[in-house]
Amino acid sequence: MNNRLINWFKFASPQSFYPLAGRMIPWFWALTAAFGVAGLWISFFVAPTDAQQGEGYRIIFIHVPASWMSMFIYCIMAGWAGLGLVFNTRLSGMMASALAPTGALMAFLSLWTGALWGKPMWGAWWVWDARLTSELILFFLYIGFIALQAAIDDPRRADKAGAILALVGVVNVPIIYFSVKWWNTLHQGSTINLTKAPSMAQTMLWGMLLMALCFWMYSIAVALMRARAIILERETHTEWVKQLDEVKS
């Protein structure tokens, strides 16, 4: 253990993670603002109008990053939950609960912007196709995770129960991602693929990727802030929390 460059387990303790997170948060906020300004500028002023959808397609600059994040945050949340179950580290559970509200927000944004786009483009706010339904289930999984943790008073038991729910729900993520490939859906197939060139104009792609980075940075910043708040709440009884400047004053 000692011959490693960084001892990762050191940061698994809330006491050393708390100040580290505090130092990182401003940087992630700065990056959120930088990517957000660049992304929105390209989205609104540089990216051309779409040949078929006109200006309405610009919803993708929010919709696609939000959908990606909703799936990705769930994977990270389940990863933390799994770590917590295996290693019994306290920070893992806190990180999982810190991520859940942001994930729920992303899933909601994805469903909501999708509905706003669906009405003029498809002709329906909502269709029970595989993609939309599985994304709705993802939203319910987030809400269920938050509710389950809130219902159990003992934080360690709440972490454990939440972790099991998060891990069970993780099967839904590949279902969302591949739903447009596996079944006939109204939702179109993916534009961005790992295996072929994206079928979209270059500037549109840039706008979308910058917005995705902005959402990433925002999610990290918010999750770290929430994690710090959870640490303070759960570790109030410890000596190091009582010594903190922000607690003493």
Residue 88 touches another protein, criterion: CB under 8 A:
yes
Residue 195 touches another protein, criterion: CB under 8 A:
no
Comparison of 13 and 199: residue with beta carbon closer to another protein: 199
Residue 191 touches another protein, criterion: CB under 8 A:
yes
Distance, in Å, from the CA atom of 150 to the CA atom of 116, rounded to the nearest integer, reads 32
Contacts of 107 (CB under 8 A, 6+ apart): 66, 70, 135, 138, 139, 142
Residues 43-62 interacting with another protein (rule: CB under 8 A)? 48-53, 57, 60
Residue 185 touches another protein, criterion: CB under 8 A:
yes
**Burial class for 210, CB neighbours closer than 10 Å (0-12, 13-18, 19+):** buried
Comparison of 34 and 164: residue with beta carbon closer to another protein: 164
Distance, in Å, from the CA atom of 207 to the CA atom of 211, rounded to the nearest integer, reads 6
Q: What Rg do the C-alpha atoms of the chain give, in angstroms?
A: 20
Residues 109-128 interacting with another protein (rule: CB under 8 A)? 120-124, 127-128
Does residue 81 contact residue 92 with C-beta atoms inside 8 Å?
yes
For residue 238, the minimal CB distance to another protein (Å) is 24
Residue 188 touches another protein, criterion: CB under 8 A:
yes
Q: How many residues bind another protein (CB under 8 A)?
A: 40
Q: Indicate the SS3 state at residue 11.
A: helix
Does residue 213 contact residue 39 with C-beta atoms inside 8 Å?
yes
Residue 200 touches another protein, criterion: CB under 8 A:
yes
Residue 151 touches another protein, criterion: CB under 8 A:
no
Residue 209 touches another protein, criterion: CB under 8 A:
no
**Burial class for 236, CB neighbours closer than 10 Å (0-12, 13-18, 19+):** exposed
Residue 177 touches another protein, criterion: CB under 8 A:
no
The residues that touch another protein, with contacts defined as CB under 8 A, are 48-53, 57, 60, 82, 85-88, 120-124, 127-130, 167-168, 170-171, 175, 182-186, 188-191, 199-201, 204
